[in-house]
Structure 1
Amino acid sequence: MRITILGCGTSTGVPRLPNDWGTCDPENPKNRRSRASILVEHGETTLLVDCGPDMRTQLLAADVQHLDGVLITHDHADHTHGIDDLRGYYMERKSEIPVYAPAEALKRLRHRFDYIFKSRHGYPSICSGHEITGLVTIGDITAIPFWQEHGPIYSLGFRFGDIAYSTDVNAFPPESFEVLAGVKVWIVDALRHRPHRTHSHLEKTLGWIEQIKPDRAILTHLSNDMDYAQLRNALPDGVEPAYDGLVLDIV
């Protein structure tokens, strides 16, 4: 299985407009971060997790020729507002792209982007919406969803075999830790150094990592005060910051 981290930035990306790098070194390309998303490839199947406003440039950079489906963690803008650009893959495959999301997120997406999910004015729908109620199997890939607290709402994390993805989280219900048990690679939210009301901060995330004990932990959804080189040098063994374009091949 191959995981590509298409984007590892917070909701504003790094740099934040107008050109705010915070404490990140602008000379290090690993500090330039687009909105959080990953690509999952296994066998003949290619699956996208989240479709934020940077999706088009992310998928062009990764040379993604085909998509079999999209998983949505939650419906915040930085994770869904690139959905219109899926039309290119609709034209390539000549059929609707299945989009899987939690019930409330799917309801809001259908309202916000109604033309995406239903034909009107002679234009076809480009996506079919599917509520996530349990395991999601798309081709050769099976995703195990688990709930995450994200401030006042819930997001979904996903486990793919021995890999788990947990963006946009500040707490886990006990049953989600059960799903995470035994993962070898964990891509997990660590927004910044200071506590935040909807995202985990570095100290909290390191505590989770100590509890789950993956072989490798990769920090994502990073803000502009999380300089790549400084983090890399300060983190314990087995923990590293993500960067856009990082590829993980898991046997």
Structure 2
Amino acid sequence: MMRVVILGCGGSAGVPQLGGEDGRGDWGACDPSEPRNQRTRSSILIEQDGRRLLIDTGPDLRAQLLATGIAGIDAVLFTHAHADHITGLDDVRILNRLTGKPIDAYGSPKTIEELTLRFDYAFRPWKPPGFYRPVLVPHQVAAGQDLTIAGFPVTLLDQDHGYVRSLGLRIGRFAYSTDVVAMDAEVLDRLKGIDTWVVGCFQRQKHATHAHIALVAQWAARIGVRRTVLTHMGYDLDWAWMQANLPPGLEPGFDGMEIHPAS
């Protein structure tokens, strides 16, 4: 059975954001006494039959893996190259040590280009023994492509993230779509038949680069998905408020949440 772990479900600044009256965090509309309102930057891990695929390496990666007891991966897929999705990349060196091998890294040509510019040392050829730095093997992929990553049959989806494109993915009856504000009809059609969808929803009202509640509900209805779990949520979205007010079929994710999609 496939297991999906939401490592983090927060927006680019996390929840709480830096600041607040006492300097200990700005919670916005979120109740600080609710643990599920504390959100690290968005990332998931997909696991089945001992194989693990990590989606993005945000700045909270180390803490996320420790909190969920994950001590190894087989590959990483980058949705795009924004800082909140890549700046934990250096922690991959410990994963290299734990697995004893270089790790395959997948992303669009633009994303791989950005990664090799910012983390050039991670993409140099490995000279064994040891991993004093991360060692990633780059693979350029494209939206619309069907391929196998770490043994998973992955369909890559094109997403409009406002000023850039991002990659969504489908594996069987599960799909993940973070950092998206628009999807064309073809992509929505490729999502039909899924059972569970983890999708970015930044706030209650419209946003220039991220989907909001009404838009996600519209997409979910068109796809016909049974369960829609929100991620990449900002401090506008309080857990209890969402539990009481989200449309049927939608629910908030939380850091450490485990999902077992129908096969």
TM range (shorter): over 0.9
Question: Does 1:41 pair with 2:85?
Answer: no
Aligned equivalents of 1:92, 1:244: Cα separation in 2: 24
Aligned equivalents of 1:93, 1:142: Cα separation in 2: 22
Aligned equivalents of 1:120, 1:96: Cα separation in 2: 7
The answer to whether the 8 A contact 1:44-1:140 is kept is: no
Question: Does 1:217 pair with 2:228?
Answer: yes
Please give the TM-score of this superposition, normalised by the length of structure 2.
0.92
Q: After the TM superposition, which residues 91-240 of structure 1 pair with which residues of structure 2 at under 5 Å, given as runs? A: 91-119=97-125, 126-133=135-142, 134-240=145-251
The answer to whether the 8 A contact 1:162-1:184 is kept is: yes
Name the Cα RMSD after superposition: 1.6
What does the per-residue CA deviation read over 1:116-169, in whole Å, with 9 as the maximum and x for residues that have no partner?
101599966611111113223133312110100000110000001101101000
* Equivalent residue letter for 2:7: L
Offset, 1:237: 2.4
Name the count of aligned residue pairs: 251
Residue aligned with 2:40, SS = coil
What does the per-residue CA deviation read over 1:186-209, in whole Å, with 9 as the maximum and x for residues that have no partner?
111110012111001111111111
- In structure 2, runs of 5+ residues without a counterpart are 20-24
Aligned equivalents of 2:214, 2:137: Cα separation in 1: 40
* Equivalent residue letter for 1:44: G
Alignment match, 1:9: 10
Aligned equivalents of 2:133, 2:4: Cα separation in 1: 31
Aligned equivalents of 2:97, 2:232: Cα separation in 1: 31
Offset, 1:3: 0.4
Please give the TM-score of this superposition, normalised by the length of structure 1.
0.96
- Name which of 25, 29, 43 aligns with 1:23: 29
Q: After the TM superposition, which residues 74-93 of structure 1 pair with which residues of structure 2 at under 5 Å, given as runs? A: 74-93=80-99
Deviates more, 1:155-164 or 1:86-95: 86-95
Alignment match, 2:74: 68
Residue aligned with 2:79, SS = coil
Aligned equivalents of 2:14, 2:147: Cα separation in 1: 29
User: Residues 124, 237 of structure 1: CA spacing in aligned structure 2 closer, same or farther, 3 A cutoff?
Assistant: closer
Aligned equivalents of 1:142, 1:12: Cα separation in 2: 32
* Equivalent residue letter for 2:138: G
What does the per-residue CA deviation read over 1:203-241, in whole Å, with 9 as the maximum and x for residues that have no partner?
111111111121100111100010011101111222101
Tell me the percent identity: 41
Offset, 1:94: 1.9
Aligned equivalents of 2:207, 2:16: Cα separation in 1: 19
Residue aligned with 1:136, SS = strand
* Equivalent residue letter for 1:10: G
The answer to whether the 8 A contact 2:75-2:150 is kept is: no
Residue aligned with 2:73, SS = coil
